[in-house]
Structure 1
Amino acid sequence: MKQIVPTTGSVLSMALVSSFSAGALAAEAGFIEDTTATLQARNYYFSRDFSDIVGANRQSKAEEWAQGFILNVKSGYTQGPVGFGVDVIGLLGLKLDSGPDRVNTGLLPVKDDGRAANDYSRLEAALKVRYSKTEIKVGELQPNVPVLAFSDIRLLPPSYQGASISSSEINGLTLQGGHLNSTSLRNEAGDEKMQAMLGHVPQRQVSSDGFNFAGGDYAFNDKRSSVSAWYGQLEDIYNQRFLGLKHSQPTGDWILGANIGYYDSREDGKKLLGNIDNQAFFSLLSAKRGGHTFYVGYQGMFGDSAFPRVFANISPLGNEVPTYEFASTDERSWQARYDYDFAALGVPGLTSTVRYISGNNVDTGKGFEGKDRERDLDLGYVVQSGSLKGVGVRVRNAMARSNYRSDIDENRLILSYTWTLL
């Protein structure tokens, strides 16, 4: 098995262990008593066929099968006005099936010889300090904010190394900020500097020394409404501002919802990727009644650039899905989606989604208008009782077509189960 990579987080975890004697831990009611620990097993099959390859990569198919394990341990806090604790995350990925002509699914690392690694693993920690309703973390982090969304969409989740602060001292208001100096990608064991994506194109030629973020969310109207304001900066590449509004309104037998957001992005500092100019607007409206939920969404890209983000993350854009992003230069896109929860028919745990997105007006830079479309089908079930209670299965089929990027036919099969250890 591949040796666990010793990084900043693992050194921190060893220091924390050595700093607390067994007697001291036992004396701190809350540090141990409030500790939680879970272990998730995730079996992931991923297949993506490129029926009309566009670009330098001529690989016609990405298909792999892997087994992952995700350990999350979150301690309580020591007693006193200032409480101390530690969070630990352990990740292990095992190759079940791959081939040199089928790599780059995002499930497994690719070695220098072009083959997928047999396994990869990490064990990292974060020290946390709490005073009142304010918490500081240093070490391994998994932030989830509009300018850096948590994208756990493959075998193992990504993480970052740095420091963050979160405060909820004012009722309804949550403020957060942080500095991240490196990342561990979803299919890598080590740490590396952060890079950017513009639209769907990774910009691997340059790296940033850090990512900074700050912002807040304010919930009101009995928590049915919230507003958000955020700032993100991938140093020397781009900076980004975000404003958002979410609202949920019961109306008779219906629950109406709205998710509206606006991003403004520009080049930053040394302009390592040149000038960046993107303004992105999205709106996703919903109507729920019983087991039925209907969605309609609009998303528009404005300016001279595609939407920027940290590689290889998703974003909270309303029309972004794991296959296509609909975030190319000047793109306009519409979405129609329907979800059904079969609990309404007496089958709890069974859910389904069908979604269609169509985009056009893309500035391809090649003298023609870019167009793309995607159809997604998702079916998920979590066993509700018996010896297999808690076992989840999800099936996803996607068909994506474009006249300026590769067509994709995609299938995913994900089996998962989580043990509660503490």
Structure 2
Amino acid sequence: MRVMKWSMIALAVAAGTSQFAMASSQEESKGFFGDQSLKLKTRFEYMNRDYKNGASNNADSGYRQDSGLSQLLTYESGFTQGTVGFGLDAMAMGSVKLDGGSGHRGNGLFAVDSDNNPEKSQGKVGGAVKLRLSDTVLKYGQQFVASPVFATDDSRMLPEVATGTLITSKEIKGLELSAGRFTALSAQTGMARDSIGGLPDEDGNHGKGLSNGINIFGASYAFTDNFTGAFAASDAEDYFKKYYVNLNYTLPINDDQSLNFDLNGYKTKGDDRGDQVMALGSVEDGGDGVAGVDNNLWSLAAAYSIGAHKFTLAYQQSSGDNAYYYGVDGNSTIFVSNSIQISDFVGREEKSYQARYDINMATYGVPGLSFMTRYVMGNNIKVDNAGEGKENEWNIESKYVVQEGPAKDLSFRARFANYRANGAYQNYSRDNYDTRLIIEYPLNIL
């Protein structure tokens, strides 16, 4: 693996600006209002987790059930014209609870009040300023991030929102560079600017997650139309340093068939304070009180596509002092093959295997309709004083997107999961059925 030093990156960007770039994005700017957009996304979500061993807030019922409605309004201005363009972004979001009492809460759709009841409504706003020079953009403020080492999650009612600075450069064709520093992360159910739980203090109370910040760097390059690579790194102060690599290659067989290979890998090195997290056993999917967050995690997936069908096989392996740890760096910071609906299959020393099938019904005269099913089995999980941990999960998913008319892009998505773990692993992951219905309607206002 070749890691480019900052001086080399700066030289490459400068060369791309002076020699290779034809017409930059800034040169083609239509102005602050000319390139603006205003979008509204409405989401309905129903979620039910039926725990087979009575593990819920109410042992008599054994299940958790919530439903709600949310709206996310995002405004993005264009950039003013000139050598350096200036712009503004803004967001406003809110959700209302439709169903879900205190006895059935716990699916992560809503925060709870001082009486431990789900909040009836929630909302937050944010904004960011941005500058653009050629094809390089600097953005500061509240924003959504999708780096493999720092990714905001949008799997429930409202998305996580990060606060900080991000620079993204696309000066050379095929090469994208990014670097940033973030000092706060607002949880999906936390309306405060920094509401991700952090390291415990002497009394065991968890503080702010990113109070000391996280620095990130990323680079991706398209070697050819079919072969891409990426590298990313982060330093979450007081927690860990994390490194990520990806290689993705597609082999075209003919117009109707192709073979894709996708390799993802993480290396996590814990800081002294970060080791305390594991010492308290506070990590899901395998945290068992072992000090240290050092972990190596990798996956390799092979997918064969033929017409409307795609068949995927994947293998994933976790090794090190403990399970792969994430969350304080965003609850979507896990870009591996076997991170699925319920489990991530990242327990200590875990090995997991996946078989998946997808079908696109457009080939059969129903454009917008698709189906997916997959099965993942994990074993070899090291659990202190309990033997070998094992888990498995089966998913079924169907999605339909309206293709035309006034309801164009309206989508209906149904998801079902059946999760099981053996006795040695029940303390970390409980058997359950997970059923979700998600309806989304994205609307382009401007």
SS of 1:343's equivalent in the other structure is helix
**Distance apart, 1:322 and its partner CA:** 2.8
SS of 2:341's equivalent in the other structure is coil
- Distance in 2 (CA, whole Å) between partners of 1:262 and 1:245 is 9
**Distance apart, 1:388 and its partner CA:** 3.2
**Distance apart, 1:213 and its partner CA:** 0.8
Is the alpha carbon distance of 1:137 and 1:366 closer, same or farther for their aligned partners in structure 2, counting shifts above 3 Å?
same
1:57-112: per-residue Cα shift (whole Å, max 9, x none)? 96832211100001111110011100010111111101111101111211111112
Aligned to 2:33: 32
Aligned to 2:150: 148
Q: Is the 8 A contact 2:50 2:63 kept in 1?
A: yes
Aligned to 1:92: 94
**Distance apart, 1:204 and its partner CA:** 7.9
Aligned to 1:368: 387
Aligned to 2:218: 215
Aligned pairs for 1:164-203 (under 5 A) are: 164-192=166-194, 194-195=196-197
Aligned pairs for 1:17-166 (under 5 A) are: 30-52=31-53, 60-166=62-168
Give yes or no for the alignment of 1:389 onto 2:408.
yes
SS of 2:363's equivalent in the other structure is helix
Give yes or no for the alignment of 1:278 onto 2:301.
no
Give yes or no for the alignment of 1:409 onto 2:433.
yes
**Distance apart, 1:250 and its partner CA:** 0.8
Q: Is the 8 A contact 1:194 1:210 kept in 2?
A: no
- Distance in 2 (CA, whole Å) between partners of 1:418 and 1:393 is 12
Give yes or no for the alignment of 1:354 onto 2:373.
yes
AA partner of residue 261 (structure 2)? A
**Residue number among 244, 247, 271 corresponding to 1:245 in the alignment:** 247
Q: Give the stretch that moved more between structures: 185-194 or 302-311.
A: 185-194
Q: Is the 8 A contact 2:187 2:196 kept in 1?
A: no
- Distance in 1 (CA, whole Å) between partners of 2:56 and 2:326 is 21
Give yes or no for the alignment of 1:298 onto 2:298.
no
Is the alpha carbon distance of 1:212 and 1:323 closer, same or farther for their aligned partners in structure 2, counting shifts above 3 Å?
same
Unmatched tracts of structure 2, length 5 or more: 1-28, 278-290
- Could you say what the CA RMSD is over the residues aligned between the two structures, in angstroms? 2.1
**Distance apart, 1:154 and its partner CA:** 1.2
- Distance in 2 (CA, whole Å) between partners of 1:182 and 1:284 is 34
AA partner of residue 42 (structure 2)? A
**Distance apart, 1:389 and its partner CA:** 3.0
- Distance in 2 (CA, whole Å) between partners of 1:116 and 1:193 is 17
Is the alpha carbon distance of 1:132 and 1:66 closer, same or farther for their aligned partners in structure 2, counting shifts above 3 Å?
same
1:123-145: per-residue Cα shift (whole Å, max 9, x none)? 11110110011111100121101
Is the alpha carbon distance of 1:196 and 1:170 closer, same or farther for their aligned partners in structure 2, counting shifts above 3 Å?
farther
Q: Is the 8 A contact 2:341 2:417 kept in 1?
A: no
Give yes or no for the alignment of 1:313 onto 2:331.
yes
1:144-187: per-residue Cα shift (whole Å, max 9, x none)? 01112343211121111111111111221111111111111112
TM-score (norm 1): 0.88
AA partner of residue 287 (structure 1)? Y
- Distance in 1 (CA, whole Å) between partners of 2:381 and 2:158 is 33
Is the alpha carbon distance of 1:173 and 1:292 closer, same or farther for their aligned partners in structure 2, counting shifts above 3 Å?
same
What is the percent sequence identity of the aligned residues? 31
1:327-383: per-residue Cα shift (whole Å, max 9, x none)? 010000000000100001010000110010000000111331000000000000012
**Distance apart, 1:387 and its partner CA:** 4.3
Q: Is the 8 A contact 2:297 2:319 kept in 1?
A: yes
Give yes or no for the alignment of 1:266 onto 2:269.
yes
Is the alpha carbon distance of 1:244 and 1:365 closer, same or farther for their aligned partners in structure 2, counting shifts above 3 Å?
same
Q: Give the stretch that moved more between structures: 76-85 or 247-256.
A: 247-256
Is the alpha carbon distance of 1:361 and 1:174 closer, same or farther for their aligned partners in structure 2, counting shifts above 3 Å?
same
Q: How many pairs are equivalent? A: 389
1:394-415: per-residue Cα shift (whole Å, max 9, x none)? 0011100002120120100111
AA partner of residue 267 (structure 1)? G
- Distance in 1 (CA, whole Å) between partners of 2:110 and 2:197 is 19
Give yes or no for the alignment of 1:419 onto 2:443.
yes
- Distance in 1 (CA, whole Å) between partners of 2:306 and 2:218 is 33
Q: Give the stretch that moved more between structures: 111-120 or 378-387.
A: 378-387
SS of 2:102's equivalent in the other structure is coil
Q: Is the 8 A contact 1:337 1:353 kept in 2?
A: yes
**Residue number among 322, 338, 341 corresponding to 1:322 in the alignment:** 341
TM-score (norm 2): 0.83
- Distance in 1 (CA, whole Å) between partners of 2:346 and 2:221 is 27
Q: Is the 8 A contact 2:316 2:352 kept in 1?
A: yes
Q: Is the 8 A contact 2:152 2:162 kept in 1?
A: no
Q: Is the 8 A contact 1:104 1:110 kept in 2?
A: no
Q: Is the 8 A contact 2:412 2:438 kept in 1?
A: yes
- Distance in 1 (CA, whole Å) between partners of 2:267 and 2:440 is 38
AA partner of residue 188 (structure 1)? G
**Distance apart, 1:50 and its partner CA:** 1.6
- Distance in 1 (CA, whole Å) between partners of 2:205 and 2:151 is 20
Q: Is the 8 A contact 1:332 1:362 kept in 2?
A: yes
AA partner of residue 39 (structure 1)? L
